[in-house]
Amino acid sequence: MHIMTAQKVFDYVSEGRAVESENLRGLDLSNLDLGAANLRGSDLSQANLTGTNLQEAHLERVTLDGAILKETDFRGANLSYVQLSDMDLSTCNLERLTALDAKFIRVTLKDQSLKSVNLTGATFINAPLVGLNVQQAHLTNLRLLFCLLDSCTFHECKMAGSDFGLSRILKTTFSRVDLTRASFMGATFRDIKFLESLLKEVDCTLVDAEGMDLTGSQYPGLHSEGFRVKGLKK
């Protein structure tokens, strides 16, 4: 019977061998160097990934239910088509992460750099996102639904077609961001800045805004039915 152990996983990865579609449930992989590992489709439920190096790892379609993700290094890793629920990733390194069409449900991110991430088509639901520094990221068609964005900065990001429906966006700055055809329907703005950004055909229907700075931004075709704003600066 083929049984994978933590040692076998480490040995396979060290030898450049794939560990695809394997049962790795509950394994203690903490503090292992699994950089560039190919773990596509494997079941990592309840696995301990504390301090694990997963830089540049292929993690597409893995299962991470109940996994321990503390100080896990995901720099340059690929988590596309993965669903994460009820997790706090605040101690993980997520720079250059790719997570196409991934789902993050009640996942907490706090005081992190998301430089050069690619979250195209990803969905966040009921997620607290606090103090994030997001630079030069690919976020086209990103969905942030019922989320809290507090004290975040988005700089030179591609966010066309993104959806912030019914989210609360507080003390957050969008600088040189392409938000073409983005939707903020029903969102709440408090002290939000759109600086030198493109808001072409953005949907602000039923947005409740207090303190909004549009300095240097373009907003042709803005949909503003029921849009309430106090303290607007242009």
Same domain, 198 and 143: yes
Q: pLDDT-derived band of residue 227, with 50, 70 and 90 as boundaries? A: very high
Q: pLDDT-derived band of residue 90, with 50, 70 and 90 as boundaries? A: very high
Percent residues over pLDDT 90 in the chain: 98
pLDDT tens for 130-149 read 999 999 999 999 999 999 99
Asked whether residue 85 is domain-assigned, the answer is: no
Same domain, 231 and 154: yes
Number of domains in the chain: 2
Looking at residues 7-12, what average pLDDT do you find? 97
Asked whether residue 5 is domain-assigned, the answer is: no
Same domain, 99 and 205: yes
Q: How many residues does the structure list for the chain?
A: 234
With beta carbons less than 8 A apart as the criterion, state whether 74 and 92 touch: yes
Asked whether residue 210 is domain-assigned, the answer is: yes
Bridge-based pairing of strands 148-150 and 128-130 is parallel
Same domain, 102 and 212: yes
Asked whether residue 68 is domain-assigned, the answer is: yes
**Long-range Cβ contact pairs of 130-136 (< 8 A, separation 24 or more):** none
Asked whether residue 162 is domain-assigned, the answer is: yes
Same domain, 38 and 144: no
Collapsing DSSP to helix, strand or coil, 203 comes out as strand
Range of the domain at 140: 95-234
The pLDDT score that the predictor gives to residue 1 is: 44
In 30-140, DSSP assigns E strands to 83-85, 103-105, 109-110, 123-125, 128-130, 133-135
pLDDT tens for 19-72 read 999 999 999 999 999 999 999 999 999 999 999 999 999 999 999 999 999 999
Q: Does 100 have pLDDT greater than 80? A: yes
pLDDT tens for 160-186 read 999 999 999 999 999 999 999 999 999
Asked whether residue 194 is domain-assigned, the answer is: yes
Beta carbons within 10 angstroms of residue 193's beta carbon:
19
Looking at residues 103-108, what average pLDDT do you find? 98
Same domain, 46 and 141: no
Q: Which helix (H) or strand (E) segment is 109 a member of?
A: strand 109-110
Written as one string, the DSSP assignment of 132-176 is: -EEES-B-TT-EEES-EEES-EEES-B-TT-B-TT-EEES-EEES
With beta carbons less than 8 A apart as the criterion, state whether 197 and 219 touch: no
Q: Provide the mean pLDDT of the chain.
A: 97
Q: Which helix (H) or strand (E) segment is 212 a member of?
A: strand 208-213
| Residue 132 identity (one-letter amino acid) | L
Asked whether residue 224 is domain-assigned, the answer is: yes
Looking at residues 109-130, what average pLDDT do you find? 98
Collapsing DSSP to helix, strand or coil, 11 comes out as helix
Looking at residues 191-195, what average pLDDT do you find? 98
203, two tokens: 């949907």
Q: Does 88 have pLDDT greater than 80? A: yes
Same domain, 145 and 74: no
Q: pLDDT-derived band of residue 2, with 50, 70 and 90 as boundaries? A: confident
CATH code, domain with 183: 2.160.20.80
DSSP tag of 196: S
Same domain, 55 and 102: no
Of the three residues 28, 50, 78, the one that is the final residue of a domain is: 78
Same domain, 74 and 100: no
